[in-house]
Amino acid sequence: MALLSILCFPDPKLHTVAKPVLAVDDRIQTLIADMLETMYEAKGVGLAATQVDVHERLIVIDVSEGRDTPLVLINPQLIWASPETHLNEEGCLSVPGIYDGVQRHDCVKVEALDAEGQKRLIEADGLLAVCIQHEMDHLMGKVFVEYLSPLKRNRIKTKMLKAQREARE
């Protein structure tokens, strides 16, 4: 297994739209293992392949307290979303240190392949529902800060660029 480097906002590669995974083969199994290791190491609850610069529809999530219940979603399709929505405080491994409110559906149903390539239906609410919506946005090239006002987004962009500059020095 290997730790992968995570793209940081405002890297334009984060806006790439991911393509479907064509086969759940050894390459994908290795990617899943590496993404899980990277997510746990970074103390995140979710990671989309887009964030590690692989533009295929693959997400790993773990919202459990014990950090021992990984969920793998390959080629996820949203098949239902509750009309009820909530404002949730979100963060993102690609926008470190930034947290802000995003309106999300309370419950979602998603169809996806699991790590073994089996089709599964996931019914999610609470943090898992928020996380799935956040990660599926990544696959569409969307970062959560794009829901915020242009003013806030620009402030975050400036802050991120400054932090990235300082990290290089």
Regarding 59 and contact with Ni ion (CB under 5 A), the answer is no
- Minimum distance from residue 6 beta carbon to Ni ion (Å): 9
Cβ-based nearer residue to Ni ion, 21 or 59? 59
CA distances from 14 to 9, 49, 94, 95, 166 (A): 7, 10, 9, 11, 21
3-state helix, strand, coil in the chain (%, to 5): 35, 25, 35
Cβ-based nearer residue to Ni ion, 23 or 38? 38
Q: Which of 37, 90, 111, 135 is catalytic?
A: 135
> How big is the CA angle at 108 (ends 107 and 111), to the nearest 5 degrees?
155
Stretch that binds Ni ion, among 13-21, 57-65, 87-95, 106-114 (CB under 5 A): 87-95
User: Is 65 part of the annotated catalytic residue set?
Assistant: no
Q: Which of 92, 122, 132, 145 binds Ni ion (CB under 5 A)?
A: 92
- Minimum distance from residue 163 beta carbon to Ni ion (Å): 17
- Residue 37, H or E segment: helix 26-41
Residue facing Ni ion at closest CB distance: 92
Six token digits for residue 131: 């996380």
Cβ-based nearer residue to Ni ion, 137 or 169? 137
- Please name the residues in contact with 149: beta carbons below 8 A apart, sequence gap of 6 or more: none
**Catalytic positions, please?**
135
